[in-house]
Amino acid sequence: MATQVDSIRTIYSQPEIQERIKEMGQQISSDYAKLEHPVVIGVMKGAFCFLADIVRQIKTPDPLQIEFVRLASYGSATESSGSVQTPYLELPNISRRNILVVEDIIDSGRTARFFMDYLKDQFNPATLKMAVFLDKPSRRVVPMEADYVGFTIEDLFVVGYGLDYAEKYRELPYLGELKLGGG
Catalytic positions, please? 107
In whole angstroms, what is the distance from residue 138 CA to residue 98 CA?
30
160 phi, psi to nearest 5 deg: 100, 165
The partner in contact with residue 107, picked from ligand IMP, Mg ion, none with C-beta cut-offs of 5 to 8 angstroms by kind, is: ligand IMP
Burial of 182 (0-12, 13-18, 19+ CB in 10 A): exposed
Which of residues 32 and 115 has its CB atom nearest to Mg ion in the complex?
115
111 is an interface residue for ligand IMP by CB under 6 A:
yes
Taking CB under 6 A as the criterion, the residue among 70, 157, 170, 174 binding ligand IMP is 157
Residue type present at position 35: L
Tally: H helices and E strands in the chain: 3, 9
Q: Which is nearer to ligand IMP, 83 or 122 (CB)?
A: 83
Does position 46 interact with ligand IMP (CB under 6 A)? The reply is: yes
Q: Pick from ligand IMP, Mg ion, none: which does 49 bind, CB < 5 to 8 A by kind? A: none
Give least dist CB 112 to ligand IMP, A: 6
Angle at 7 between CA 84 and CA 22, to 5 degrees: 65
Chain contacts with ligand IMP (rule: CB under 6 A): 46, 73, 80, 104-112, 157-159, 163
